[in-house]
Amino acid sequence: MASKLTLHWSPKSPYVRKVMVCAHELKLIDRLSLVRSVAAMLKPNPAIMAVNPLSKIPTLVLEDGSALFDSAVICEYLDDLAGGTLFPRTGEDRWQALRWHALGDGLLDALILWRNERERSVPLQPLLDAFDLKVRAALQVLDAEAEALMRAPFSIGPITVACALGYVDYRFDTLEWRTLAPRLANWNSEITKRPSFQATAPTDG
Ligand SMILES: N[C@@H](CCC(=O)N[C@@H](CS)C(=O)NCC(=O)O)C(=O)O
């Protein structure tokens, strides 16, 4: 029997969701042993830090006790393990996938910092304004690329963009992003019909 891989996991984390979507798509989900782990910026978690000094999730512990992070590395590891095609190897498809991967991750980074700032007792308004501007700009760029997303091979790029949009729905519903990016919304409603997305929608559980 193939060895288990231990994933420091939370149903709320969009970066963890990327890993889970990849694991479902690559038929590796049964190899993962999920450990519910709380990773909060203001409260480093010793159990995660034992294997990842950055105290972040996702963190994947391999059979030999070594750990892989962050989500980009874990997703590529799983793809390699399964001999998958989620990371196109060459040409235009590769660079487009990696660019969307970076844009989706960058959008998530901005959203998470924005949420942290808005929850402070006295948020810094210029910082809130800057996040608002960048997030809307990223959504507009992706909306203009919706047709290219529709045509592109299924890969880590579209996966990450859809996980970022799922996080907007989860934490920023007041943004009403579908009005701002209607073509992206159409694309998103198609890609999220996949069982891998249906099985990993964010929850507070
Ligand atoms: N670049 C990292 C980001 C991971 C990340 O920031 N995860 C959040 C949870 S959604 C976290 O662990 N935060 C705790 C912290 O920043 O201390 C990745 O792609 O895995």
The boundaries of every CATH 1.20.1050.10 domain in the chain are 91-194
Looking at residue 1, what is its pLDDT? 64
Looking at residue 47, what is its pLDDT? 97
Look up the CATH number of domain 91-194: 1.20.1050.10
Average pLDDT over residues 179-203: 98
How far does residue 144's CA lie from ligand 1's centre (Å)? Answer: 28
Decide if 5 contacts 147 (C-beta within 8 A).
Answer: no
- CA nearest neighbour of 184 among 168, 157, 161: 161
Superfamily name with CATH number, domain 5-82: Glutaredoxin (3.40.30.10)
Rounded mean pLDDT of the chain? 97
Question: Which atom of ligand 1 lies at the shortest distance from residue 105's CA?
Answer: 19
Looking at residue 57, what is its pLDDT? 98
CA distances from residue 43 to 35, 37, 46, 47, 136 in whole angstroms, order as listed: 18, 12, 9, 12, 30
Digit-coded pLDDT (tens) for 140-182: 999 999 999 999 999 999 999 999 999 999 999 999 999 999 9
Looking at residue 2, what is its pLDDT? 75
Question: Which atom of ligand 1 lies at the shortest distance from residue 13's CA?
Answer: 10
Q: How confident is the model at residue 190 (pLDDT cuts 50, 70, 90)?
A: very high
Question: What's the CA angle centered on 85, arms 82 and 86, to 5 degrees?
Answer: 95
Which residue among 56, 69, 78 has the greatest number of ligand 1 atoms within 8 angstroms of its CB, and so is best to mutate? 56
Backbone φ and ψ for 157, nearest 5 degrees, come out as -65, -65
Name the percent of the chain lying above pLDDT 70: 100
How far does residue 155's CA lie from ligand 1's centre (Å)? Answer: 21
How far does residue 44's CA lie from ligand 1's centre (Å)? Answer: 11
CA distance 119 to 159: 28
CA distance 160 to 103: 8
Residues with CB under 6 A from ligand 1: 13, 15, 39-41, 55-58, 70-72, 105
Contacts of 195 (CB under 8 A, 6+ apart): 24
The boundaries of every CATH 3.40.30.10 domain in the chain are 5-82
Name the percent of the chain lying above pLDDT 90: 98
Average pLDDT over residues 101-122: 97
Question: Which atom of ligand 1 lies at the shortest distance from residue 54's CA?
Answer: 17
Two tokens at 125?
Answer: 């308004």
Q: How confident is the model at residue 3 (pLDDT cuts 50, 70, 90)?
A: confident
Q: How confident is the model at residue 205 (pLDDT cuts 50, 70, 90)?
A: confident
